[in-house]
């Protein structure tokens, strides 16, 4: 009886302390100061996000063809004595239809943000349907000429610039205290808009007509290669294997122009770190991912209407920093795909995994720190925001390593009934390995966004919490047997 009363008393004291802390936090959140650093109009941010998505879709289409033939189809009808142009017209129509549908899905929010009249909305949707048609035509022409390898890097650069540019501009404008005019509701005069749509229609028709004529010039090797990539990506999507999907759509590391001298490498773990740095330095795509990941929460924090929603800014923080962590997990994913190189090192498997966390921690400390500093612009205490962002780096680095070393999907486990059908429990738990640690590590940042300020006790708590999560994630990651 005495032990029971003692336990109940301790639990009551703990509940009272937690209740007092929650009540205090609620009062602080209610007294959160108004956001005065949100200077970007919502229409401008919507256009920037839509441009980045359009560039990403263009890179995806260029990676998949856009016209391709599956290995089975290529083996059946490519050797036939028939015109290749007629056989590939169906593939071209499917590519154009898919591009138009994706563009309309992305463009509807942007059109509604920029125009408030029925005529303006219809004109915007018409332009959104014509632009992807012209883009697919140009991609097919470049595919027939064999010169489309530059499209994915250029589209990736456009994606990064579309997010980084407005975010930096918003910070500069907020620092200068200048108000930007609201461009929503403004639209071109009817004659000008009609003329532009007519010109765009002519360009789209010409591009598709030229693409139709160049279908006969597509080589069997290029069609078969694109078809194998599309089949690989499709199988990865249906098997819910995001790691294989990344391998199917991934880009190759740039060949070095000159050898790098790693004079500081003396020990085996330093060789692992040097290899990870080489992977990062020779992949411009991953630099773009880091920049876009840092800019995405800043863009939300500088946008009118979004900055007043701390929960939404916290979601963009998780998305952006998760993107940056994913770019740094490539060495871990490669180690799982080809473990022979790691086994040749005079290091144990656990030591190699710990060495793989060095580069993500160092890079993410800078990326998250700068991103948090810009997110907290105007809220005071910039050093505290910088420290809070850097303190979450161990958690996201552990997430990158944990996701990279996650085991293969297990489809033999128990299933869970859902409205969409049976869902394997083991597959779901494997897919969230990595992001779960990152999301938990972002909780202090979300709390700071709700408070509108960063007390130093929160920085200390965030650092301890992040170190514990990162150590748990790296310690539980195991290389393949």
Q: Does residue 2 form part of some domain?
A: no
Q: What tens digit of pLDDT does each residue of 412-455 get?
A: 777 777 766 677 777 777 888 888 999 999 999 999 998 888 98
Task: Specify whether 240 is located in the same domain as 275.
Answer: no
Residues 317-337 have pLDDT tens digits of: 999 999 999 999 888 988 888
Q: What is the pLDDT of residue 432?
A: 84
- Looking at residue 383, what is its pLDDT? 92
What is the average pLDDT score of the chain? 83
Residue 258 lies in a domain: no
If one compares 228 and 115, the residue with the highest pLDDT of the two is 228
pLDDT tier for residue 469 given thresholds of 50, 70 and 90: very high
- Which pLDDT score is estimated for 237? 82
196-to-99, 202, 268, 272 alpha-carbon distances in Å = 21, 10, 62, 55
Model pLDDT for residues 74-111, shown as the tens digit of each residue: 777 777 777 777 788 888 888 888 888 888 887 777 77
Instruction: Say yes or no: 354 and 452 in one domain.
Output: yes
Last residue of a domain, one of 186, 218, 249: 249
Report the alpha-carbon angle 376-381-384, nearest 5.
80
Q: Which residue has the higher pLDDT, 251 or 81?
A: 81
Residue 195 has pLDDT above 80, yes or no: yes
Domain count, the chain: 2
**pLDDT bucket at 4, cuts 50 / 70 / 90:** low
> Do residues 285 and 239 both lie within one domain?
no
366 and 448 part of one domain = yes
More confident residue, 48 or 391: 391
| pLDDT at 5 (0 to 100) | 65
Of 26-30, 298-302, 471-475, which range is least confident?
Answer: 26-30
Judge if 204 and 57 occupy the same domain.
Answer: yes
- Model pLDDT, residue 227: 83
Q: Give a yes or no: residue 8 inside a domain.
A: no
Whether the Cβ atoms of residue 38 and residue 180 lie closer than 8 Å to each other: no
Please tell me the predicted confidence (pLDDT) of residue 33: 61
pLDDT score of 371 = 94
pLDDT tens for 118-176 read 777 888 888 888 888 888 888 888 888 776 677 888 888 888 898 999 999 989 888 88
The reply to whether 364 and 451 lie within a common domain is yes
- The verdict on 336 and 241 lying in the same domain is no
Residue-number span of the structural domain to which 114 is assigned: 32-74+83-249
Q: Residue 24: inside a domain, yes or no? A: no
Structural tokens at position 88: 């590939």
Residue 423 bridge partners (DSSP): 416
Answer whether residue 214 shows pLDDT above 90: no
Question: What's the rounded mean pLDDT across residues 375-404?
Answer: 91
Which residues fall within 8 angstroms of residue 452, CB to CB, at 6 or more apart? Answer: 29, 32, 33, 35, 310, 379
Percent of the chain scoring above 90 in pLDDT? 22
Do 176 and 325 lie in a common domain?
A: no
17 lies in some domain: no
Burial grade of 34 (CB within 10 A; 0-12, 13-18, 19 or more): exposed
Q: Say if residue 293 is in the same domain as residue 166.
A: no
Same domain (yes/no): 57, 196: yes
Listed residue (136, 130, 151, 55) closest to 95, CA to CA: 136
- Give bridge partners of residue 415 from the DSSP assignment: 424
Region 256-268 average pLDDT: 77
Note whether residue 255 is domain-resident: no
Residues 317 and 223 in one domain: no
CA distance 172 to 169: 5
> How many angstroms from the chain centroid is the CA of residue 302?
19
More confident residue, 310 or 116: 310
Please tell me the predicted confidence (pLDDT) of residue 238. Answer: 79
Would you say residue 11 lies in a domain?
no
Domain final residue, candidates 200, 218, 249: 249
At 30-83, the pLDDT tens digits run 566 666 778 888 878 888 888 888 888 888 888 887 888 877 777 777 777 777
Query: Is 398's pLDDT higher than 60?
Result: yes
Choosing from 188, 217, 249, the residue where a domain stops is 249
Within a domain: residue 310? Answer: yes
Do 212 and 318 reside in the same domain of the chain?
no
Alpha-carbon dihedral angle through residues 229, 235, 238, 241, given to the nearest 10 degrees: -90
């Amino acid at each position: 009886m005495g032990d029971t009363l003692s336990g109940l008393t301790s639990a009551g004291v703990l509940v009272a302390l937690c209740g007092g802390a929650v009540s205090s936090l609620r009062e602080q959140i209610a007294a959160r100061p108004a956001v005065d650093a949100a200077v970007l109009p919502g229409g401008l941010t919507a256009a920037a996000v839509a441009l980045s998505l359009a560039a990403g879709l263009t890179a995806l289409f260029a990676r998949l063809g856009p016209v391709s033939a599956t290995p089975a189809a290529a083996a059946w009808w490519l050797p036939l004595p028939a015109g290749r142009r007629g056989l590939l017209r169906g593939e071209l129509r499917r590519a154009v239809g898919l591009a138009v549908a994706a563009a309309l899905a992305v463009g509807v929010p942007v059109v509604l943000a920029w125009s408030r009249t029925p005529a303006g909305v219809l004109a915007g949707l018409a332009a959104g349907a014509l632009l992807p048609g012209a883009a697919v035509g140009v991609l097919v022409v470049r595919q027939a000429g064999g010169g489309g390898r530059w499209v994915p890097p250029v589209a990736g650069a456009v994606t990064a610039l579309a997010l980084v540019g407005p975010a930096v501009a918003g910070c500069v404008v907020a620092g200068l205290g200048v108000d930007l005019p609201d461009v929503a509701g403004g639209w071109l005069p009817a004659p000008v808009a009609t003329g532009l749509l007519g010109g765009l229609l002519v360009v789209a028709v010409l591009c598709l007509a030229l693409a139709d004529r160049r279908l006969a010039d597509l080589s069997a090797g290029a069609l078969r290669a694109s078809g194998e990539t599309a089949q690989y990506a499709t199988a990865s999507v249906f098997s819910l294997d995001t790691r294989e999907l990344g391998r199917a759509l991934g880009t190759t590391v740039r060949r070095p122009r000159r050898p790098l001298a790693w004079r500081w490498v003396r020990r085996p773990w330093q060789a692992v770190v040097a290899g990870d740095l080489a992977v990062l330095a020779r992949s411009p795509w991953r630099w773009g991912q880091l920049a876009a990941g840092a800019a995405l929460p800043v863009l939300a924090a500088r946008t009118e209407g979004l900055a007043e929603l701390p929960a939404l800014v916290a979601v963009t923080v998780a998305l952006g920093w998760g993107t940056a962590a994913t770019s740094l997990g490539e060495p871990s994913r490669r180690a799982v795909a080809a473990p022979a190189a790691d086994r040749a090192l005079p290091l144990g498997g656990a030591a190699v995994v710990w060495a793989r966390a060095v580069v993500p921690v160092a890079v993410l400390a800078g990326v998250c720190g700068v991103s948090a500093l810009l997110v907290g612009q105007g809220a005071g205490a910039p050093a505290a925001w910088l420290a809070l962002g850097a303190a979450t780096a161990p958690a996201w680095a552990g997430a990158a390593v944990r996701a990279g070393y996650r085991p293969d999907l297990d489809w033999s486990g128990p299933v869970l009934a859902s409205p969409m059908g049976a869902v394997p429990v083991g597959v779901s738990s494997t897919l969230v390995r990595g992001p779960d640690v990152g999301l938990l590590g972002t909780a202090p940042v979300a709390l700071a966004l709700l408070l509108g300020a960063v007390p130093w006790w929160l920085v200390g708590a965030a650092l301890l919490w992040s170190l514990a999560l990162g150590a748990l994630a790296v310690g539980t990651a195991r290389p393949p047997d």
